[in-house]
Amino acid sequence: MRKLEDLQALIATSVEQLKYPAYPAELYEPISYILSIGGKRMRPALLLMACDLFGGDVEAALPPALAIEVFHNFTLMHDDIMDNAPIRRGRATVHEKWNQNVAILSGDVMLIEGYKLMMQVRDNILRRVLDIFNETAVGVCEGQQLDMTFETSSNIGIDEYINMIRLKTAVVLGGALKIGALIGEADEKDAELLSDFGVNLGIAFQLQDDILDVYGDPVKFGKQVGGDIISNKKTYLLIKALQLVKGSDAEELQRWITFTTFDNAEKVTAVTEIYNKANVRQYAEDEMQAYAEKAFKALEQINLPEDSKQYLRDFADGLLVREY
């Protein structure tokens, strides 16, 4: 089994070798630009990993892996317009560096380029692979739409929230693993189980992210602690708190959410205090644990040798046990 870091490095090299036409420059330069900004290349690495675990040819899985990375960056390019984000990973976003029209149209072409790469699979799995890719891509768009809708909704249920993060973040992990498994000649049942592993792990990971935003070590977390609180982001913690807190705590939470000017540190401290009293961290950790267990349960049922399962368990542990 190849190490995850080696697969990530292989992806990084292959992404650099992706070449697009020089003309029209405004259409293709942004694609090379956003792909060059980097990231952990986790999604394509998962595709290669799945292929490798089932004894498939990792090199043959490279184009579909790149498809997942190009697709992911298409969603980032369009999401950044929608979120009005000026910076991604320390670099100007495409709509900032060029303009919004360029970001719309380059993103559109990236989605098509994703299909072109995804089609580079054996004839006997082409239709199946594209079906999974379509379903994944639609899911991500639905998740992004729900995320935007929730921002202005006052009454989101936990189930709706979990469904949103499943679509926006988790299905693409499941899709990448499933496609990789099929390229590695896994049977449909094992591919499906590996996808379940990925989806549930993805949900657990996103819940952990919600927890870390409030309770994480700012150095290890790598983000500003309390950023979600400051921006009123509808996380698991906030949704749960809004359901649980009563009386003066509820009024105070509502006040902090509706304030347009406030001291950031003061808001983070006050809202965290309310979260603590309502014990929402525990609820979130229990939920995260429940999804992690679902992931491990799917893993147990896969027809793979024990050392391959251990590899996947170690991977999941590495993803989930980030120090607080």
The beta strand positions in the chain, using DSSP E, are 87-88, 91-92
Residue 124: CB minimum distance to a second copy, A: 9
The token pair that represents 48 in the structure block: 């290669």
How many Cβ atoms are within 10 Å of 199's Cβ, its own excluded?
26
Find, among 12, 167, 21, 45, the residue nearest to 106 by Cα: 21
Residue 97: CB minimum distance to a second copy, A: 16
Select 25 or 321, whichever has its Cβ closest to a second copy: 25
Q: What is the spatial distance between Cα 58 and Cα 14, in angstroms, rounded to a whole number?
A: 12
Select 239 or 312, whichever has its Cβ closest to a second copy: 239
Residue 115: CB minimum distance to a second copy, A: 6
Look at the block and give the residue holding tokens 């591919």: 191
Select 142 or 192, whichever has its Cβ closest to a second copy: 142
Q: Which spans in 87-156 are helix H?
A: 94-97, 100-118, 123-151
Task: Let me know the angle formed at the C-alpha of 52 by 49 and 55, rounded to the nearest 5 degrees.
Answer: 155
Residue 275: CB minimum distance to a second copy, A: 28
Residue 94: CB minimum distance to a second copy, A: 13
Binding interface with a second copy (CB under 8 A): 24, 26-27, 78, 81-82, 101-102, 104-105, 107-109, 111-113, 115-116, 119, 123, 126-127, 130-131, 134, 137-138, 141-142, 144-146, 148-149
Give the strand pairing for 91-92 and 87-88. Answer: antiparallel
Select 6 or 83, whichever has its Cβ closest to a second copy: 83
Look at the block and give the residue holding tokens 């309770």: 215
Select 14 or 136, whichever has its Cβ closest to a second copy: 136
